[in-house]
A and B are shown apart, each in its own frame.
Chain A
């Protein structure tokens, strides 16, 4: 029996909004979805008239929807923004090719200028060249650290007022939980801010802060937007993995918990007595850093000096290594390099096999099944070894179909499939989704070496995780 659209437009409802449970027709859903983002932008004062804004574009669903909606709203409400797309090309043969194609599609569809910046342009090295230098094992650190800064450097080159990223409400709620688990108070406070950026840096804003991931998927689907799904063979780090699993379980019980978590984050304060690591500018490159010299510069220094493993471990270690290097340089350069590299092997988390090998204890045997979208943003962890598929292909649409089964009201419109067939494929999707919910990964570890007691991994994996830059 058809349900009428709750907005009172007279049409039949087409879907139930995941966020509010209201039954709406397609048009009214689009309107609600876009108007909410408009509300966030205006009430949050994210932009000023005449601003140049770089949309961080990965080709994934969040950044694609963000670009589409910003373009729409910019026209509808006359924001007067100068929008452009900014993509980063790590320079890994075969990896970005497809997603960059998607971004180029976005450029044409939304008539926005696109700037693709390569690591080569930004740092003088491509990831391929770095891998050739240091081997596959440690490239994760390089890719992560470089990516963390790439957007800032890129935005500076484009001379924009701010960077808009596609972080959605689920991402933010998940990050709140993750920072609680690792006891990272500084990030806990920062991660719910709609606008981040310290002095001297280009601010980042999150217009999708209050937008549910499920609604983004549905919006992209009904609008037939072309985006790119990434399946990363690497797990999120253990803390994020736990946080995500917890959030998914809770969202099923009480969808509003995502907003409630964000509210908690917004109203919490770090007590004054607690001193947080201060942020400063790197004396070399002038980008934000917690150290005198930022990690990217340390890594670059290492590459350029022929000490590629410099800086993979802790930063105090790097300094020591550099000192040792300078001291020993006179006597025996080769020996020094060998020593340092050996020591590095012993000491960094990567070579101990903890980074990127997260698994969740209940499900170690599962192969990689990370939620495709969570890794499609520019600054999530994925060191470039992801297999990707265009969302136009059938199988990556499973997630959409699961959503439609749960929230869609009239199924007739769906791609002309008969409803029998649809139900069947949805059932299949449901099963897959179940796997996906547990989403535990793991390609190589034996499972024991997860988060050990201490924060041992918290420190080391921090490298990986701080890829979630805004956080």
Chain B
């Protein structure tokens, strides 16, 4: 075991293949981080950035990497002014996690904002449908009956909106998230599977440019969870939250997450292949349609394709109800009402997936 950089005795192996000593490994990760920001040339000098933490190992490493980069005294110094945001999501443990994050930020000297997700989601839902009843539900009761697949997707969009909102309050034009190669691969597959394929560029790529003023950047996109774990071990960093391991809930995202963890274990190169795909995929309606989804800010798909899964899905429901007559259906009978039930506001103000989510949320509301 010899370090592939300096030929001194190695201390760790990544991808079962590449051997490093502690020192070279830490150097390499810091370098990867700066290189990722550098090659994308997006930051101007003394720019304010908002670092969004979840408290897990990845976000803790992100803090450390930013700190290291701004502490340099040479031309490689990262010239940014960091702010930190932590969103409280769960009741369990949140005091412990918050305290630990407060401590971390204190030691790095970064200003911290803590906010609770529940303060936001009321507005989040009332935005979309002007029904009185919905305002009275907080997200918890709305989301409690929804499948966990939808729940996860909606939560992610809520958080993203909070990132943008807080960044504006703090006058930051740039947001850093701690998404790694591993988590982005999971996110890419999840996107495909819930119909957000055309949003991959912004959801998984280096920069999310959907908001006019604020960019969300992903400077850890070339770093894997395996590397993160070595990093915290070597530097003896204690994350506020344990790294998520395999999830036990039944959602599409958990199935995908477990799948990706298996891939990482056995075929690590496949993970970066998946991730790189994000750079090559766009949307067929990019730049043509200026309308945006009011929930996720993605460009809305046009309704000008001859035949899509939307048409086929709506038609499926219709024939199951024999709505279109005994033996004949009327092509024009693809009425708006039907569309609104299964895909509310699609092509108008919601994207495919947000519209599907809305329809599930709506159905649950009716049940209650």
A interface residues (Cβ-Cβ under 8 A, vs B): 6-9, 17, 19-20, 22, 24, 28, 31-32, 35-36, 39-40, 42-45, 76, 176-177, 180-183, 185, 188, 194, 209-210, 242, 246, 249-250, 253-254, 256-257, 259-271, 274, 361, 450-455
Please name 19 further chain A to chain B contacts, defined as beta carbons within 8 Å, in addition to the given A242-B259, A361-B266, sorted by A numbering: A8-B321, A8-B322, A19-B316, A20-B317, A39-B312, A39-B319, A180-B192, A181-B274, A183-B274, A188-B277, A210-B316, A257-B194, A259-B195, A259-B309, A263-B197, A263-B308, A264-B191, A266-B284, A451-B267
Q: Can you give 11 A-B contacts (C-beta < 8 A)?
A: A9-B322, A17-B320, A20-B317, A32-B316, A36-B316, A180-B274, A253-B250, A256-B356, A262-B309, A450-B267, A454-B269
A262: chain B residues at CB < 8 Å are 309
The residue in chain A whose Cβ has the minimal distance to the Cβ of B200 is A268
A28: chain B residues at CB < 8 Å are 320, 322
Contact B282 A44 (CB under 8 A): no
Contact A246 B306 (CB under 8 A): no
Pairs of residues from A and B, 4 with the lowest C-beta to C-beta distance, nearest first: A264-B197, A263-B309, A260-B195, A210-B312
Q: How many whole Å from B15's CB to the nearest CB in chain A?
A: 7
Contact A453 B268 (CB under 8 A): yes
The residue in chain B whose Cβ has the minimal distance to the Cβ of A183 is B273
Q: A177-B189, A262-B309, A270-B281 are in contact. Are A32 and B320 (CB under 8 A)?
A: yes
Contact B319 A35 (CB under 8 A): yes
Contact A39 B315 (CB under 8 A): yes
* Count of chain B residues with a beta carbon within 8 Å of a chain A beta carbon: 65
Q: Which listed residue, B274, B281, B352, touches A263 by the CB 8 Å rule?
A: B352
B305: chain A residues at CB < 8 Å are 266
Contact B189 A180 (CB under 8 A): yes
Q: How many whole Å from A15's CB to the nearest CB in chain B?
A: 11
The residue in chain B whose Cβ has the minimal distance to the Cβ of A186 is B280
The residue in chain A whose Cβ has the minimal distance to the Cβ of B324 is A35
Tell me if B233 counts as interface (CB < 8 A to partner A). no
- State A212–B327 Cα separation when bound (angstroms): 22
Contact B307 A268 (CB under 8 A): no
Residue from B194, B197, B263, B285 having most chain A Cβ neighbours under 10 A:
B197
In the complex, per-residue mask of B255-297: 1 if CB is within 8 Å of any chain A CB, else 0 = 1100100110011111001101101111111100000000000
Contact B149 A253 (CB under 8 A): yes
Contact A269 B286 (CB under 8 A): yes
Q: A22-B320, A450-B267 are in contact. Are A180 and B282 (CB under 8 A)?
A: no
Contact A453 B15 (CB under 8 A): yes
- State A254–B356 Cα separation when bound (angstroms): 13
The residue in chain B whose Cβ has the minimal distance to the Cβ of A263 is B309
Contact A44 B307 (CB under 8 A): yes
B285: chain A residues at CB < 8 Å are 267
In the complex, per-residue mask of B312-347: 1 if CB is within 8 Å of any chain A CB, else 0 = 110111011110100101010000000000000000
- State A255–B54 Cα separation when bound (angstroms): 31
Q: Which listed residue, A8, A42, A194, A451, touches B270 by the CB 8 Å rule?
A: A451
- State A22–B352 Cα separation when bound (angstroms): 22
Contact A210 B309 (CB under 8 A): yes
Contact A264 B195 (CB under 8 A): yes
B198: chain A residues at CB < 8 Å are 264, 267-269
Q: Which listed residue, A43, A180, A185, A264, touches B307 by the CB 8 Å rule?
A: A43
What DSSP secondary structure best describes chain A's contact surface? helix
The residue in chain A whose Cβ has the minimal distance to the Cβ of B316 is A20
Contact A254 B273 (CB under 8 A): no
Tell me if B145 counts as interface (CB < 8 A to partner A). no
A453: chain B residues at CB < 8 Å are 15, 17, 267-269
Tell me if B196 counts as interface (CB < 8 A to partner A). yes
Tell me if B179 counts as interface (CB < 8 A to partner A). no
Contact B255 A253 (CB under 8 A): yes
Contact B273 A40 (CB under 8 A): no
- State A188–B198 Cα separation when bound (angstroms): 12
Tell me if B147 counts as interface (CB < 8 A to partner A). yes
Q: Which listed residue, A176, A177, A455, touches B273 by the CB 8 Å rule?
A: A455
In the complex, per-residue mask of B175-218: 1 if CB is within 8 Å of any chain A CB, else 0 = 00000000000001101111111101100000000000000000
Tell me if B252 counts as interface (CB < 8 A to partner A). yes
Q: A183-B277, A246-B256 are in contact. Are A260 and B320 (CB under 8 A)?
A: no
The residue in chain B whose Cβ has the minimal distance to the Cβ of A23 is B320
Tell me if B301 counts as interface (CB < 8 A to partner A). yes
B197: chain A residues at CB < 8 Å are 261, 263-265, 267-268
- State A330–B272 Cα separation when bound (angstroms): 49
B281: chain A residues at CB < 8 Å are 185, 188, 268-271
Q: A28-B322, A180-B277 are in contact. Are A260 and B255 (CB under 8 A)?
A: no
Contact A253 B283 (CB under 8 A): no
Contact B192 A264 (CB under 8 A): yes
Q: How many whole Å from B333's CB to the nearest CB in chain A?
A: 11
- State A20–B315 Cα separation when bound (angstroms): 11
Contact B283 A269 (CB under 8 A): yes
The residue in chain A whose Cβ has the minimal distance to the Cβ of B254 is A253
A257: chain B residues at CB < 8 Å are 193-194, 252
Tell me if B49 counts as interface (CB < 8 A to partner A). no
Q: How many whole Å from A422's CB to the nearest CB in chain B?
A: 26
Contact A183 B276 (CB under 8 A): yes
- State A270–B200 Cα separation when bound (angstroms): 11
A44: chain B residues at CB < 8 Å are 306-307
Contact B191 A270 (CB under 8 A): no
Contact A7 B321 (CB under 8 A): yes
Q: How many whole Å from B202's CB to the nearest CB in chain A?
A: 13
Tell me if B129 counts as interface (CB < 8 A to partner A). no
- State A263–B256 Cα separation when bound (angstroms): 18
- State A311–B54 Cα separation when bound (angstroms): 53
Tell me if B310 counts as interface (CB < 8 A to partner A). yes
The residue in chain B whose Cβ has the minimal distance to the Cβ of A274 is B280
Q: How many whole Å from A372's CB to the nearest CB in chain B?
A: 24
Tell me if B89 counts as interface (CB < 8 A to partner A). no
- State A31–B307 Cα separation when bound (angstroms): 20
- State A264–B191 Cα separation when bound (angstroms): 8
Contact B284 A269 (CB under 8 A): yes
Q: Which listed residue, B149, B188, B268, B284, touches A267 by the CB 8 Å rule?
A: B284
Contact A260 B317 (CB under 8 A): no
Q: How many whole Å from A169's CB to the nearest CB in chain B?
A: 9
- State A8–B322 Cα separation when bound (angstroms): 8
- State A450–B276 Cα separation when bound (angstroms): 21
- State A278–B261 Cα separation when bound (angstroms): 35
Tell me if B251 counts as interface (CB < 8 A to partner A). yes
Which residues B107-155 have CB closer than 8 A to chain A? 147, 149
